[in-house]
Every structure is written in structure tokens, then in C-alpha cells.
């Protein structure tokens, strides 16, 4: 195993060599980039201009959606915070009730009653500069990075954008900075690391003000999506599973991890918005203080039993709430030793967060604020938030194509399947994480009843099915419910009727988390054959490279300054 004998300093050389060989050919300049001297480029995003010298500091244009969405969420949060400040100053205002919509704050101007923000891993400072120029009601932003080159770039960019009164550059290890800020806390803490954010969470949950907002990105999707459950346990304290719902499982693993860190300090979390996008997940959670409320944590967590044959998922909660409000131990196990649908064994994953992923009141108000915002990816934000707003508060989902492929049968339309669930008296929604997702409160047997009923009219080739196959076991069981595929009037949700941009499209060839300290400026020519084909021919080469990179990453246990990302997980949709 050659990676065991190479020195740590050589690893990045090897990684960068592999990345350069296969990636540099695709990286050309895009419209947002202008060369102003031989070695310096100016990148424009939102209201910020970033000077990038000699490609030595991380910039990933694909993350514009991440930054835009963060600006939208923090802008609304800033108003919520300001309302609280006003009410504290004048309690009479609380009685009369201030309307958030009536709060008028200005962006780009320091507001002494405004929010304080820490961007703990800032790279070029782009995100902080955009926050300073585009988010109303900012008191102060700290843009921190461990790399001296990055901090140099942050300082230059603060000057270039004339935001000296709003942003302070900081050169520190993010964890140490956050530990030192446990008393002088921030209203907003943004963690946007390469790969896994775990090492920053312990200090982050301690340096956020009561009710403050924590924003966390994780790009190590291969680990979170079940490619390496053991590594996932080491990094996140939970076992990931290979599942069609892997993107939501990833979100719920990250949330349980944050909640677990917060609980140690008598703090608890309330997710505001949690999304899976492109090659990463991003969660926005509020952090509150309250030792007693932390006791509810066990009832918000649970394990997943996943059948190895038919992939049916069953949730085992870790705790329960008594009808009078106290807490009790959960009953279990919730499944028999063999799956009741196909007689195969179960795998166990988790623990995962079971409470809601989103605060729907927050989302509906946030949606109303979007029309006035100037954001490059506004259409996509509106589309995603509309789907999120329609999402059922039910953990996980199945996908239509996978359900039908398990029984080797033709697939009905998504509207027919959704109608069958609704006609049987259950709720159903999409998940923003998958185009053909089925999120429902229907029990698993009803889902298989629908599949069985469909198969009766569209028979699978039963003679080709193995006698021990999950397909045959499921198809030969009696239905428990009468199923109708008549189209239900509510089967087509508004976001789908309006053809909103609801799901991600791979934005560029070789899109992904980006490499450490590299400017990735990629062309986005929609007519490019490479884009249409998504580099099918080069994919094999890339996957060999990313496997090598992952192999090297996996052996790298001790670096504080994070290394390059692990293999990128394939998006389902």
C-alpha cells in the first residue's frame, strides 16, 4: 500500500499532480473573470470583486448557489435578530408586535444593533465580502483562515471592496478562534470547509449566541452517503447506509452530530433549512441554550433498519415522549429478524436526526423576501425552497424507479404512484434531494401494495425471478389495501405545475468540491459537448484518480488543516 509509506507533505503534491493531469484541460476563463495583470484576475460574484493572484487561494464558482442561499437566509435572520433587539430596548414594542416585513435595514452600512458574523474558513474572503455588501443589519464580520496566503488575499480584497469598517481579517486556526470566543459570542457562525466539518463543531456550538445561526457545509458525500460507513462513524458518530435516500440520510447524520456536540454544553439545535445540493450538503440551524430541553434529544434521534433485499426502511427511535410530556425509553426492536416483505436480513444505520429538517414558518416568510433580492442563482433558490416548503415532515423517502426495479416491473408515472398513495388516504411529497422521490406517511406495506397492484396490470417476467428473490416474495403476498391509480386532483404539486427549477443540474464538467488552494474557474458554455456528455469518456480516468485521492485521504488522520475532499458522490437526479 504505497500511501502508507509516503510522507504527508508529498501527499498534496501527488493529489495536485493527479488533479492537474486530468482537470486543467477543462479550466478556462468564464465571464465573471477578468485578467487585470499577468498574475492577477478579478472575479465578480454578487456585489463583490475578488482579486485572485497566482491561483493560490481557493475559489469555487460552483458554490455561488451556496453563497447566494446563505445571503438570503442570513438576511432574513438579521431581521429576526433586529426585532429582538428592538423589543429588548422597548418592551412596549413587544406587546404591540413588530412586523418583520416592516423592518427596514440597509446593506453595506455598519449597524451598531446588527448581527456579528464569523466566517471561520474564509479563503479569499469572497463570502464575507458578499455578506458585508449584501446582507442588511451587519455590525461586524470576522473573516478567518489558517493559511497566511489566504489571509493576505482576504486583506487585499477587504481593501479592494472598501468594506474595512465591516470586516476584520483574522489569521488563526478556526477551532482556537472559536474556543476563545466562547464568552464574546457571534450571532452567526459559518463553517465551509473542504470535506468534513466535524473538527470545527465542538468549538462552533460554544461560540454562538443564544438563538444564533450556525451554517455548516459538508462535501465528503462519499463518506456520508454510505461508501464508507466505518469512516462515517469515526467522523460523524453515525453509520451511513447505501440508499436512494442517501442525501437525506447525510443531512440527518450531520444534524445528529451537531446536536450531540451542542448537548454537551446544555445547548440544543433547531434546524431552519437543510439542503442537499450539487456535491455537498448545507445545514442552517439555530442554537439555543437550555439544559432541560436537551433531554428531548433522544426522542429526536433514531436508527434505520434497511432490508438488504427489498431496501425497505424502518425507523427505530432512541427515545420517546410520554403523553404528559415526560421522557421514556423507546420500545424495540421495530422489525423482526427477517424482513416481513421479502424475508431478507436487515442492515442498521444511524443514529440520524428524526425531527423536522426545516422550519416551515421560516421558509414561507423567507420565500416572500426573495423577490426583492438580486442573486445570480435566485431562480434555483426559489425553486428549491418551494419544493422544501412542500416537503412532508417524514424522515427519508423511496424513489419510484428503485421500488419498481426491485420487483423487475415497468415504472408507473410519478403522478399515478402519488395518486395511489393519496387515494389510499396518505400524504405524499417530493424531497428536494431527488426528482423521483416519494416521501410519504404511508406504512411500508401500503407502498408495496401499490407496487403489487401495478404489477398485476403490468406483469413482471415472473419465470425469470429467482425463487428466493425479494421480487417474488413481494409480488406473491396478498394486498392489504385496495389501490386506485386514478389521478388525484392534488397529485401534481404547485412547484411542479409551475415548472420551477427544482432540482440541480450538473453545472460544469468536473464540477465538485474543488481542490485545496486552487482557483477553479470553469467555462459554462451550455452548448459544450463535454457538458452534455458530462465527460463520460473521462469519467473512468477521473474515478481512478478520485479513488487514489480517497485512499490517500483515508490514511490522513492527524492534519488540522484539512486536506482535499474525498471522492465525490454521484447525484441521483
Q: Which residues bind ligand SAM (CB under 6 A)?
A: 58, 63, 67, 121-124, 126-127, 144-147, 150, 173-174, 192-194, 560-562
Mutual angle of helices 64-89 and 378-390, in 10-degree steps: 70
Residue span 298-337 as binding mask against Zn ion, x where in contact by CB under 5 A, dash where not: ---------x-xx-x-------------------------
Relative to beta strand 346-353, strand 398-399 is unpaired
Q: Which is nearer to ligand SAM, 155 or 462 (CB)?
A: 155
Q: What is each CA distance from 455 to 300, 339, 403, 448, in whole angstroms?
A: 37, 21, 12, 10
Q: What is each CA distance from 61 to 50, 58, 518, in whole angstroms?
A: 12, 10, 12
Minimal distance, residue 128 CB to ligand SAM, in Å: 8
Q: Which is nearer to ligand SAM, 444 or 562 (CB)?
A: 562
Minimal distance, residue 249 CB to Zn ion, in Å: 18
Helix, coil or strand: residue 370: helix
CA distance 191 to 25: 31
Residue 70 binds: one of ligand SAM, Zn ion, none (C-beta under 5 to 8 A by kind):
none
The C-alpha cell at 112 is 451598531
Residues 340-379 that bind Zn ion (CB under 5 A): 341-342, 344
CA distance 363 to 217: 19
Q: Which is nearer to Zn ion, 239 or 342 (CB)?
A: 342
Minimal distance, residue 200 CB to ligand SAM, in Å: 7
Relative to beta strand 267-277, strand 280-289 is antiparallel
Q: What is each CA distance from 535 to 193, 342, 526, 543, 556, in whole angstroms?
A: 27, 39, 14, 11, 29
Contact 196, 560 (CB under 8 A): no
Relative to beta strand 138-145, strand 167-171 is parallel
CA distance 209 to 200: 16
Minimal distance, residue 111 CB to ligand SAM, in Å: 23
Interface with Zn ion includes 209 (CB under 5 A)?
no
Residue 268 binds: one of ligand SAM, Zn ion, none (C-beta under 5 to 8 A by kind):
none
Of 413, 472, 414, 415, give the one whose Cα is nearest residue 448: 472
Residue 134 binds: one of ligand SAM, Zn ion, none (C-beta under 5 to 8 A by kind):
none
Q: Which is nearer to Zn ion, 244 or 341 (CB)?
A: 341
Minimal distance, residue 548 CB to ligand SAM, in Å: 21
| CB-based closest residue to ligand SAM | 121
Q: Which is nearer to ligand SAM, 150 or 500 (CB)?
A: 150
Q: Which is nearer to ligand SAM, 6 or 560 (CB)?
A: 560
Residue 309 binds: one of ligand SAM, Zn ion, none (C-beta under 5 to 8 A by kind):
Zn ion
Q: In the complex, which residues of this chain contact Zn ion (CB under 5 A)?
A: 307, 309-310, 312, 339, 341-342, 344
Amino acid at each position: 500500500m504505497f500511501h502508507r509509506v509516503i510522507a504527508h507533505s508529498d501527499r498534496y503534491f501527488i493529489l495536485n499532480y493527479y488533479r492537474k493531469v486530468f482537470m486543467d484541460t477543462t479550466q478556462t476563463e468564464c465571464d465573471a473573470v477578468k485578467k487585470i495583470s499577468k498574475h492577477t484576475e478579478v472575479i465578480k460574484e454578487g456585489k463583490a470583486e475578488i482579486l485572485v493572484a497566482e491561483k493560490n487561494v481557493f475559489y469555487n464558482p460552483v458554490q455561488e448557489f451556496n453563497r447566494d442561499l446563505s445571503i438570503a437566509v442570513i438576511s432574513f435572520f438579521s431581521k429576526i435578530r433586529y426585532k429582538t433587539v428592538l423589543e429588548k430596548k422597548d418592551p412596549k414594542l413587544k406587546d404591540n408586535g413588530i412586523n418583520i416585513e416592516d423592518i427596514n435595514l440597509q446593506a453595506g452600512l455598519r449597524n451598531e444593533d446588527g448581527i456579528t458574523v464569523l466566517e471561520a474558513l474564509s479563503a479569499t474572503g469572497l463570502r464575507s465580502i458578499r455578506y458585508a455588501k449584501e446582507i442588511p443589519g451587519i455590525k461586524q464580520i470576522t473573516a478567518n483562515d489558517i493559511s497566511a496566503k489566504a489571509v493576505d488575499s482576504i486583506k487585499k480584497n477587504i481593501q479592494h471592496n472598501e468594506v474595512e469598517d465591516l470586516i476584520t481579517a483574522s489569521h488563526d486556526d478556526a477551532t482556537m478562534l472559536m474556543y476563545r470566543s466562547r464568552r464574546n459570542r457571534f450571532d452567526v457562525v459559518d463553517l465551509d470547509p473542504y470535506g468534513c466539518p466535524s473538527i470545527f463543531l465542538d468549538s462552533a456550538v460554544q461560540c454562538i449566541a443564544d438563538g444564533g445561526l450556525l451554517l455548516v457545509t459538508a462535501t465528503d458525500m462519499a463518506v456520508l452517503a454510505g461508501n464508507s460507513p466505518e469512516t462515517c462513524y469515526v467522523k460523524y458518530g453515525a453509520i451511513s447506509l447505501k440508499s436512494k435516500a442517501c442525501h437525506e440520510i447525510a443531512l440527518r447524520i450531520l444534524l445528529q452530530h451537531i446536536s450531540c456536540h451542542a448537548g454537551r454544553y446544555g445547548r440544543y439545535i433547531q434546524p431552519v433549512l437543510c439542503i442537499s445540493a450539487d456535491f455537498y450538503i448545507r445545514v442552517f440551524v439555530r442554537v439555543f441554550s437550555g439544559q432541560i430541553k436537551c433531554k428531548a434529544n433522544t426522542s429526536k434521534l433514531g436508527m434505520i433498519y434497511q432490508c438488504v433485499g427489498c431496501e425497505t426502511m424502518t425507523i427505530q427511535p432512541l427515545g420517546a415522549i410520554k403523553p404528559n410530556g415526560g421522557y421514556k425509553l423507546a420500545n424495540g426492536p421495530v422489525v423482526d429478524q427477517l424482513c416481513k416483505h421479502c424475508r431478507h436480513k436487515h442492515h442498521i444505520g444511524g443514529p440520524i436526526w428524526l425531527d423536522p429538517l426545516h422550519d416551515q414558518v421560516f421558509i414561507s416568510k423567507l420565500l416572500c423576501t426573495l423577490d426583492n433580492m438580486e442573486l445570480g442563482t435566485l431562480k434555483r433558490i426559489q425553486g428549491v425552497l418551494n419544493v422544501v416548503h412542500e416537503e412532508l415532515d417524514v424522515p427519508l423517502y423511496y424513489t419510484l424507479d428503485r421500488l419498481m426495479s426491485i420487483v423487475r416491473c415497468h415504472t408507473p408515472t410519478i403522478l399515478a404512484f402519488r395518486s395511489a398513495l393519496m387515494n389510499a388516504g396518505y400524504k405524499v411529497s417530493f424531497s428536494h434531494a431527488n426528482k423521483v422521490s416519494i416521501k410519504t406517511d404511508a406504512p411500508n406495506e401500503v407502498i408495496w401494495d401499490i407496487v403489487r397492484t401495478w404489477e398485476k396490470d403490468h406483469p413482471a417476467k415472473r419465470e425469470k425471478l429467482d425463487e428466493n428473490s425479494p421480487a417474488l416474495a413481494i409480488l406473491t403476498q396478498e394486498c392489504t389495501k385496495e389501490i386506485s391509480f386514478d389521478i388525484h386532483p392534488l397529485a401534481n404539486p404547485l412547484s411542479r405545475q409551475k415548472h420551477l427549477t427544482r432540482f440541480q443540474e450538473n453545472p460544469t464538467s468536473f464540477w465538485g468540491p474543488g481542490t485545496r488552494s486552487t482557483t477553479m474557474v470553469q467555462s459554462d458554455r451550455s452548448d459544450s459537448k463535454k457538458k452534455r456528455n458530462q465527460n463520460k469518456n473521462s469519467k473512468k480516468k477521473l474515478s481512478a484518480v478520485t479513488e487514489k485521492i480517497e485512499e490517500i485521504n483515508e490514511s490522513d488522520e492527524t492534519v488540522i488543516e484539512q486536506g482535499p475532499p474525498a471522492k465525490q458522490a454521484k447525484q441521483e437526479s
